[in-house]
Structure 1
Amino acid sequence: MIFTTTPRLHIRAFKHDDAPALLDYLASPAAPCFQDEKLRSLAEAERDVAKRAADASQFAVCLQQSDRLIGHLFAENRDEHDRNTWSVGWHFNPRYGGQGYATEAVAALFAFLFTEKAARRLYAWVEDYNVASQKLCHRLGMRQEGCFREFVSFTSADGEERYDNTLVFALLKKEWEAVA
């Protein structure tokens, strides 16, 4: 099922055939904050794809011409008191970096959330070392709202506990409409 298309991409539900491409970029996540998504085998990737396929908050980003998975998006609306606020995020295969795919896909996600899901506010968590995602947020009109010092913790490859500073970026529908 395709949720939306852009000039170069399909944004759709995950399917079984996506497992090898998902493994390609999650076998060695580019940023430490994505270590919890790390996959170790094709069988593990197949199980992960099956979970994502059943999860309405997960979106596969694929090249239109080949339908090859190059990344994924998520959009969750967890706050039971404010059903119009959505948490958004993305993870792309670094092999496809620098070509504008992330900007194209995330802009389409924002349009979908604001128009189809009646979102009022979107926000994203971005680690302070993830400069590419910070730039993406700015390109899409998001503004930084704050920084949580030592907010996220995980164990690094060498077994050391590490704490990341996490920035919060947000965009209101009226701000998006003003620049769209």
Structure 2
Amino acid sequence: MHLKTDRLIIRDFDKKDAAGLYEILEHPPVHCFLSEKLDSLDEAEKEVERRCKEGEDFAVCLSDTDSIIGDLFAIKEEPDTYSVGWNFNLKYGKRGYATEAAKALIDYFFNNGARRIYAYAEDDNIPSQKLCERLGMRKEGLFMEFISFVNNPDGTPHYENTYQYAILKREWIEP
């Protein structure tokens, strides 16, 4: 994939993205990315290598420098539905990059056979909830104690409430 927006390039991962991905995932800002936490540049290089092969993850880069500031993922569920998500370097927050990148990704998939796109956001991840809403996605439901990314102090799983947002192609095209 290779998409361009006014300020961004959304493309497949490249070996040169390891340092930027490490900066993003060294200290994941929300629990849902803790499983992707990277502890070294060597781990980041291996993760980039994996992402290059799988084709579900995309680097979000500044168009003037091609330096990575975030990543998007899109996982196809047959026949025509995609689960999408995003993670951005907090240094680039509050500038509209996530909205710009996610719009381009959703537009790409709706123009290439997708009928439905959905995303999850934990109930304490307000920035992702707001992004879903800016994208025109509707809140379809709240899964109570849906998933656990961390443990409570006593070692038991801490289950998180998770919202599901979605949008159909017809809603995207005719808002």
TM-score by length of 1: 0.93
Matches within 5 A, 1:13-24: 13-24=12-23
CA contact (8 A) 1:145 1:168 kept: yes
Other-structure match for 1:65: 64
Other-structure match for 1:144: 139
Structure 1, unmatched stretches of 5+, are none
State the Cα RMSD in Å.
1.3
Percent identical: 49
CA contact (8 A) 1:76 1:88 kept: yes
Other-structure match for 2:86: 90
TM-score by length of 2: 0.95
Runs of 4+ aligned structure 1 residues displaced above 4 Å come to: 156-160
SS, match of residue 54 in structure 2: coil
Answering whether residue 149 of structure 2 is matched by residue 126 of structure 1, we say: no
Distance 1:153 1:49, change over 3 A: same
Other-structure match for 1:9: 8
Other-structure match for 2:162: 166
SS, match of residue 106 in structure 2: helix
* Cα deviation, residue 78, structure 1: 2.6
* Cα deviation, residue 109, structure 1: 0.2
Distance 2:90 2:24 in 1: 7
Other-structure match for 1:176: 172
Matches within 5 A, 1:40-119: 40-79=39-78, 83-116=79-112, 118-119=113-114
CA contact (8 A) 1:153 1:163 kept: yes
* Cα deviation, residue 30, structure 1: 0.5
* Cα deviation, residue 155, structure 1: 2.5
Structure 2, unmatched stretches of 5+, are none
